[in-house]
DNA sequence: ATGAATATGTAATGAGCGCTACATAATACG
DNA sequence: CGTATTATGTAGCGCTCATTACATATTCAT
């Protein structure tokens, strides 16, 4: 096993910034999808050659998993929006509003990378990883609701995740942030009624 | 231009049923997606060779367009459910319920073929066709609502289409018809309030 | 029968895919 | 210094993809 203490090894130093490369790859995957982005496109965007790519990331699927985790870690701050003790209806309404804002923020990276990657296209292993991350987010919502409204937790979590998937699909077709926000806002009274 | 009067031409008769082949291709595309289904898989499933395939359908993209139109024509009877004169809130609620039922009816062909194909993956022309069909359905919903509630038509149509996309995404991950139906049913009071 | 028209089977084409051998360059340790 | 270690550049691997030449088979019209 390679120890991979990257900071200062013995050999030739790496000629490119790995973190910046992850960001570039994330943008490419987000804009065009996993299947449509080839290794050649990534190496060309990074100004490197295939061997450097494989030495750093192992494989295209491996890079994509890193990108997925990087995205889901900092894209939407679930921990902040769904803070324990907060009125659940209000928190979930803001979650949908934040999603609508985020999904249409950059016209090059519309929608949610995780939700849009959770399809059975191309590599099944990568799609399974995205589906696992989506399920984890759903469980996070479910647990947040269950603290105050145990009986409604599953149903509410399914509804919120479904609406987020719908917002992501709309964003991918070019719907504006205002248009998505208007749709997201419709769920607020519904959530308030369910979580009275 | 080839006249294409297929019924009785002069040459050698076709050795397979074109309509049945369209159905087989529809099932393959629906289960695995456009990119994941190669021409080889289709010809093998049909028991024919590539030249017969191209003589009958022109290209993979051309076949997919035919499949998309075939699906959107008979998958969900919009004209019946959204019959003019029907109470709009009730009709739209049934539309969502019917979608939930349809999307999880066959475990091999989950979700909506049109909505799931409306992503920018692989061939951009095919994705554009699916997006056009999705937009057409949205406009159909919009026109139905506008007959009685002109001011709410756009917003309601966006909401309904977004929820259908969310239901389709859930179906693709194996959610049962009951689970999808429970989510769909939540929108009924919301629609009733909007279209009072 | 003869020829025009259409479909089929065999086999291959060029392009792109993810990925890798191999030699070379650049660094750290002894 | 020499040597081990790591990264890079060049070039190409085997594979799958959608698509097609080409000759052959089967039908209709004359």
Domain membership flag for residue A87: yes
- Is residue A157 one of the residues assigned to a domain? yes
CA of B49 vs C1' of D25, distance in Å?
15
CATH number at residue B156: 1.10.357
Using 50, 70 and 90 to split pLDDT, how confident is the model at A120? low
**C-alpha distances out from residue B166 to A92, A167, B105, B171, B190, Å:** 17, 8, 16, 9, 17
**Which pLDDT band, with edges at 50, 70 and 90, does B3 fall under?**
very low
| B28 and B57 co-located in one domain | yes
- Lowest mean pLDDT of A44-48, A118-122, B6-10, name the range: B6-10
Domain span at A67:
18-71
> Nearest nt to B37, CA vs C1'?
D17
Residue B92 and residue B62 share a domain:
no
In this prediction, residue B49 carries a pLDDT of: 98
Which contiguous run of DSSP H or E holds residue A25?
Answer: helix A18-32
Domain shared by A159 and A186, yes or no: yes
Calpha distance B169→B175 (Å, rounded): 9
Cα(B94)–Cα(B188) distance, rounded to whole angstroms?
9
Nearest CA in chain A to B178: A155
Residue A132 lies in a domain: yes
Residues B180 and B83 in one domain: yes
Q: Are residues B94 and B133 in the same domain?
A: yes
Is residue B127 a part of any domain in this protein? yes
- Report CA(A13)–C1'(D2) in Å, whole number: 20
- The confidence score (pLDDT) of residue A119 equals 79
ipTM: 0.94
| Beta-carbon contacts of residue B195 (< 8 Å; ≥ 6 apart) | B88, B89, B92, B145, B148, B149, B152, B156
Q: Taking each helix axis from N to C terminus, what angle separates B177-194 and B88-103, rounded to the nearest 10 degrees? A: 160
Q: How far apart are CA A153 and CA A42, in angstroms?
A: 41
Give me the mean pLDDT over the B116-130 stretch.
87
What is the distance between the alpha carbons of residues B8 and B19, in angstroms, rounded to a whole number?
A: 16
Specify if B60 maps to a domain: yes
CB contact under 8 A, B165 and A170: yes
User: Which chain A residue is nearest to residue B161, measuring alpha carbons?
Assistant: A166
Confidence of residue A7 (pLDDT cuts 50, 70, 90): low
- From A114, A33, A38, A34, select the one nearest A73 (Cα to Cα): A114
Distances (CA, A) of A115 to A92, A138, A154, B135: 18, 11, 19, 21
> Do residue A100 and residue A162 come from a single domain?
yes
Q: Where are the alpha helices (DSSP H) in A147-176?
A: 153-172
pLDDT tier at B118, thresholds 50, 70, 90:
very high
Total domain count, chain A: 2
Q: For position A26, what pLDDT does the model report?
A: 98
CA-based nearest residue to B62, from B135, B126, B128, B14: B126
Per-residue pLDDT, averaged over A56-61, amounts to 98
**B129 and B181 housed in the same domain:** yes
A60 located within any domain:
yes
Cβ of A108 < 7 Å from strand C? no
Q: CA-based angle B149:B155:B156, to the nearest 5?
A: 65
Q: Is the per-residue pLDDT at A71 higher than 60? A: yes
Q: What is the pLDDT of residue A1?
A: 38
Asked if A43 and A133 sit in the same domain, the reply is no
Closest CA to B135 of A161, A20, A104, A172: A172
Strand C and B5 CB separated by under 7 Å: no
- Of the given ranges (A8-12, A88-92, A115-119, B78-82), which has the lowest mean pLDDT? A8-12
Give the pLDDT mean for B19-26: 98
A107 and A183 both lie in a single domain = yes
A138/A175 same-domain check: yes
Mean pLDDT, rounded, for B189-194? 98
Query: Rounded to whole angstroms, what are the CA distances from B28 to B108, B165, B176, B188?
Result: 9, 20, 21, 34
- Alpha helix stretches (DSSP H) within chain B: 18-32, 39-46, 50-57, 60-74, 78-81, 88-103, 113-117, 124-146, 153-172, 177-194
pLDDT of B7 above 60: no
Select from B10, B40, B71 the last residue of a domain.
B71
| Residue B9: predicted pLDDT | 80
Share above pLDDT 90 across residues of chain A, in percent, rounded to a whole number: 91
Distance A13 CA to C20 C1' (A): 21
Q: Do A119 and B116 lie within an 8 Å CB cutoff?
A: yes
Q: Which residue of B has its CA nearest to A173?
A: B131
Q: What is chain B's mean pLDDT, rounded?
A: 94
Query: Is residue A9 assigned to a domain?
Result: no
Alpha-carbon dihedral angle through residues B168, B170, B175, B180, given to the nearest 10 degrees: -70
- Cα(A156)–Cα(A151) distance, rounded to whole angstroms? 10
Which of A71, A86, A110 is at the close of a domain?
Answer: A71
The predicted structure's pLDDT at residue B8: 67
Question: Could you tell me the CATH number of the domain that includes residue B25?
Answer: 1.10.10.60
Q: How confident is the model at residue B120 (pLDDT cuts 50, 70, 90)?
A: low
Range A115-138 average pLDDT: 91
- Of B46, B71, B96, the position where a domain reaches its end is B71
Interhelix angle A50-57/A60-74, nearest 10 degrees: 60
DSSP state letter for A123: -
- pLDDT band for A5, please (50, 70, 90 cuts): very low
**A183 with B155: Cβ contact below 8 A:** yes
Same-domain pairing of A86 and A60: no
Domain identity same for A167 and A98: yes
B181 found inside a domain: yes
């Amino acid at each position: 096993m390679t120890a991979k203490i990257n900071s200062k090894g013995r050999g030739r130093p790496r000629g490119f910034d790995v973190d910046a490369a992850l960001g570039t790859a994330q943008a490419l995957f987000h804009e065009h999808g996993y299947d449509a982005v080839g290794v050649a496109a990534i190496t060309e965007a990074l100004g490197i050659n295939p061997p450097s790519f494989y030495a750093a990331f192992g494989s295209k699927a491996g890079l994509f998993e890193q990108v997925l985790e990087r995205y889901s870690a900092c894209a939407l701050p679930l921990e902040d929006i769904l803070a324990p003790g907060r009125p659940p209806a209000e928190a979930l309404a803001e979650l949908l509003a934040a999603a609508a804002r985020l999904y249409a923020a950059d016209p090059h990276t519309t929608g949610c990378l995780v939700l849009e990657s959770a399809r059975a296209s191309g590599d099944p292993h990568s799609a399974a990883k995205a589906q696992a991350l989506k399920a984890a987010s759903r469980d996070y919502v479910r647990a947040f609701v269950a603290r105050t409204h145990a009986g409604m937790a599953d149903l509410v979590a399914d509804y919120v995740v479904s609406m987020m998937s719908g917002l992501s699909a709309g964003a991918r077709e070019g719907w504006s942030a205002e248009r998505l926000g208007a749709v997201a806002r419709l769920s607020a009274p519904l959530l308030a009624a369910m979580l009275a």
